[in-house]
Amino acid sequence: MDLHFGDSKPTDDERAAVDALLGPPESSWEGADRSDADLRWARGGREARDRRDLLLPGLHAINDRVGWISEGALDYLCRRLTVPPAEAYGVATFYAMFSVKPRPATVLHVCTDLACAAAGASELCAGIEARLGLGSGVSVERSPCLGLCERAPAALAIKAGDPVRTAVSAPATVHDAVLAASAPDSAPEEPPAAVAVPQAGGDDLVLLRRVGVVDPSSLDDYRAHGGYTALRRAFELGPAGVIREVTDSGLVGRGGAAFPTGRKWQATASQPDRPHYVVCNADESEPGTFKDRVIMEGDPYALVEAMTIAAYATGAHQGYLYLRGEYPRALHRLEHALAQARARGLLGADILGQGYTFDIEIRRGAGAYICGEETALFNSIEGYRGEPRSKPPFPVEKGLFGKPTVENNVETLVNVLPVLTMGAPAYAAIGTAKSTGPKLFCVSGSVERPGIYELPFGATLGELLELAGVRKRLRAVLLGGAAGSFVRPDELDIPLTFEGTRQAGTTLGSGVVMAFDDTVPLPRLLLRIAEFFRDESCGQCVPCRVGTVRQEEALHRIVQRTGAAAADDIALLREVGRAMRDASICGLGQTAWNAVESAIDRLGAYE
Amino acid sequence: MTVTPLGIPRRLLEFTIDGEPVRTPEGSTILDACRAVGKDVPTLCEGDTLRPKNACRVCVVEVEGSRTLVPACSRKAEPGMEVRTDTERARHSRKIVLELLASSVDLSTTPRVAEWIKEYEAKPDRFGPDAARLNEEPKVDNDLYVRDYDKCILCYKCVDACGDQWQNTFAISVAGRGFGTRIAVEHDAPLTDSACVYCGNCIEVCPTGALSFKSEFDMRAAGTWDESQQTETTTVCAYCGVGCNLTLHVQDNEIVKVTSPHDNPVTHGNLCIKGRFGYQHVQNRD
């Protein structure tokens, strides 16, 4: 590799931010002043290139300190990591939270996605922009879903500096959001995670039973509430025994694909290639989803324990927790939990005196929905653009760093704890024969008590909405998020199981249930969904990159039209949508048309 | 004498294409097998000297048991696979992909695409006159080659050729995302400020003419570019001892561009700046 760096130099601040992550440079080969020794020996090569995965943390370090990524800063980071500047530039421009153009140190992300749009996000944005005129030192950015749907509308302020400061305002008013942006340190504290769980403290909860009950910062409190009994049981059973229990429990992935977890673990464990990795997908970016955030904020040790069990079962000694960049509080809680677990011998070498070694590293995403796709997530961790890889080979064979990898999302992992503590038969007895166990649903929109609900599989949509206090004049329910589909108010008897929703021609997806009453303008909502996918397409394959644009254009044309006037464009939407579903590389393009199609077919939008 | 590397012998596996049984060496792709039996599957981003990227999706085929269509260029053939190349479903996706591409970029210099647009009855105009396009001006910032990204379909071939697959210069990459995705050097700078070493291997692999010789670009602008008047002569580069093959494209007794045979086992179509662009001395007749 013949690297070429420009003349631009980093500022002292930028250099310090990178050095704080990577340590001081050792020779002129990686950006230090030249010494006599540098004339006689070279440093770099494979050893430096193997640190390519520190590119994303490096970009974060600069962006956190300065608020944007300058040419000099990017070139310095590239020199330190032996990464070609063109590639690093490609990575930096991929993520929505980074900027390669100068901008104010404070960025206020105002969510304009589905739940927030229904709760008046556009008026909020206009109000904030009117208050924060030019020269306020705050850049107001319209953001996709911030995962705070139960408290819509939401805003997240990020103020660059050392350290970076963040503040969340939700439900946001113009006054609160401006306050959060101008003085993040003195902004009022967020309500505890348990506020998002209306059933908190209930006796029949399995997955959420500790949220609001334990102190999320206390390992002792976690253990006093049954923490680490599942890991002890795992050590008793041995890796094969754990996989047997998970398989027998019937647990399937909760991220939307519903793949049997036991089979995935078994497939990874049996790969001869080493090392194996465990990756926790905590990049929850589906509009309307916030369950993983609530678990990580309210019961962080549960995730740490569950990842340890997954690693033990599949023979991994290193785990990565890929956390979406918009979750500062979850990041702090998890960082604290990891440090405590390490200090107490629950991570690191010789866990619980069992001679088993495992540790977890947190990797922060930077605003890209596509990074929730498992192979795009690997690319993102490895320091490449978050573009999905084509499958096969599947991650169990060639995943992170090309090695066998088991990837599960937060909710799936947390399910492993009750599987082990109550045993596979008892767990499998919950729910239905084909959809076993408890399930989390993120209910938001036109309901009295939005939040996370835990129900055994098999409850109906109507029962769930009843629990959340559905308002009168319900117009539509979006099931499964932006990649899911709409159902009508007269379809509320759909059982919330994988087989039941499939039979009804819809999907559970990631467990999103968004209710919209008749005050919500449906065409605007559909346009927002189309805009979301156009914005979040990685741009790699043609059907998705151009198809999402053509669909959004057609929806713009028909937003004021109905009936025969819209027929041509609806036919066009269908044709493009069919090709996107058939020919896109990954799930984003394949599902981008689902919600709009269901609104046309089931709700009669544009009729 | 041309040396043809034979490679290690490979087992044959059997599967069916459009109901016909075929036998193909283990490890070959569906596309390889299709071509071996004379089936014409359209391809744009596939490159004979590069690893398949399967980004354009015009080569999609139906594979029994697969939920979605499958890119023929990258999917390895498996024993017992039932592949159908010409179903309504596959044709529909190809047609839409051609429409999406042709409505967003200029495909006027892309070989064979006009033929496919006709074959699949694609109508790129139906997205209306306001359909978003790139509308980029050609980037002419050096005397050797021109980047006309209005013609770029983002096949990634130039990135792969410049990067770890051949040149190892890593001067170009993909930046941005979604419809704003583009090929760029670092900081979107001019090529002259980048790591580019002007080997021109990216031009060699570009399937649409988005990257071209300055000579070709100028002649096209002047209306004097005429491939039917050109002769191609393959010879040996005289600059160093490696002995790379050069194919000189000559029009009106002037060299207008230089390519290299892709089946050459030493260069695989790659050259350096001297072989690719250093031909002026040949036609300096003063």
Closest Cα partner for A463 from A556, B105, A153, A454?
A: A454
Place of tokens 């996000």: A121
Q: Please measure the distance between the N-terminal and C-terminal CA atoms of chain B and give it in whole angstroms.
A: 36
Helix/strand/coil for A263: helix
Quote the tokens at residue A301: 């040790």
Phi first, then psi: give them for residue A405, nearest 5 degrees.
Answer: -135, 135
pLDDT in tens, chain B (286 residues): 556 677 788 899 999 999 999 999 999 999 999 999 999 999 999 999 999 999 999 999 999 999 999 999 999 999 999 999 999 999 999 999 999 999 999 999 999 999 999 999 999 999 999 999 988 999 999 999 999 999 999 999 999 999 999 999 999 999 999 999 999 999 999 999 999 999 999 999 999 999 999 999 999 999 999 999 999 999 999 999 999 999 999 999 999 999 999 998 889 999 999 999 999 988 877 6
Which helix or strand (DSSP H or E) is residue A12 part of? helix A12-22
Residues A158/A109, Cβ–Cβ less than 8 Å? yes
Task: Kindly indicate the confidence band of residue A18, based on its pLDDT and cuts at 50, 70 and 90.
Answer: very high
Structure-derived torsion over alpha carbons of residues B61, B63, B64, B68, reported in degrees to the nearest 10: -80
Query: In one letter, which amino acid is A435?
Result: S
Helix/strand/coil for A235: helix
* Interface probe with B: pick from A582, A590, A591, A594, most Cβ of B within 10 Å: A582
Using CB atoms within 10 Å of the CB of residue B187, give its burial: 0 to 12 exposed, 13 to 18 middle, 19+ buried: buried
Q: Do B97 and A583 touch (CB under 8 A)?
A: yes
Q: How many angstroms separate the CA atoms of A495 and A460, rounded?
A: 4
B134 near A CB under 8 A: no
Angle at B133 between CA A540 and CA B210, to 5 degrees: 65
Task: Show residues of chain B in contact with A394, CB under 8 Å.
Answer: none
Closest Cα partner for A63 from A180, A182, A163, A177?
A: A163
- What DSSP designation does A399 have? -
Closest Cα partner for A63 from A194, A143, A164?
A: A164
User: Would you say the ipTM is above 0.85?
Assistant: yes
Q: Do A84 and B171 touch (CB under 8 A)?
A: yes
Closest Cα partner for A454 from A222, A226, A231, A254?
A: A254
Residues A59/A21, Cβ–Cβ less than 8 Å? no
Q: Note the pLDDT tens digit of each residue in A497-510.
A: 999 999 999 999 98
How much is the pLDDT for B27? 92
Task: Kindly indicate the confidence band of residue A44, based on its pLDDT and cuts at 50, 70 and 90.
Answer: low
Q: Do A86 and B96 touch (CB under 8 A)?
A: no
Q: How many angstroms separate the CA atoms of A368 and B38, rounded?
A: 42
Select from A2, A542, A553 the Cβ nearest to the Cβ of B169: A2
Going edge to edge, which strands form the sheet with A512-517?
A451-456, A438-445, A512-517, A474-479, A485-487
Query: In one letter, which amino acid is A353?
Result: G
Beta bridge partners of B213: B145
pTM: 0.96
Q: How many angstroms separate the CA atoms of A146 and A119, rounded?
A: 14
A269 near B CB under 8 A: no
Quote the tokens at residue B124: 């790129």
Residues A17/A66, Cβ–Cβ less than 8 Å? yes
Residues A166/A153, Cβ–Cβ less than 8 Å? no
Which helix or strand (DSSP H or E) is residue A225 part of? none
* For A388, nearest residue in chain B (alpha carbons): B55
Closest Cα partner for A214 from A202, A204, A205, A201?
A: A201
Closest Cα partner for A431 from A456, A465, A409, A448?
A: A456
Quote the tokens at residue B57: 């999706």
- For A31-38, the CB contacts below 8 A with 24+ separation are A31/A76, A31/A79, A31/A80
Share of chain A above pLDDT 90, in %: 90
How much is the pLDDT for B284? 79
Quote the tokens at residue A100: 């390669």
A549-560 burial, b if ≥16 CB within 10 A, otherwise e? bbbbbbbebbee
Cα B145 versus chain centre, distance: 17
A257 near B CB under 8 A: no
Q: How many angstroms separate the CA atoms of B144 and A532, rounded?
A: 41
Interface of A with B in 521-560 (CB under 8 A): 534-543, 545-550, 553, 557
Residues A324/A277, Cβ–Cβ less than 8 Å? no
Task: Show residues of chain A in contact with B186, CB under 8 Å.
Answer: 6, 71, 74-75, 84-86, 88-89
Share of chain A above pLDDT 70, in %: 99
Quote the tokens at residue A189: 């504290």
Q: How many angstroms separate the CA atoms of A365 and A384, rounded?
A: 12
Q: How many angstroms separate the CA atoms of A484 and A258, rounded?
A: 14
Q: How far is A541 from chain B (nearest CA, A)?
A: 4
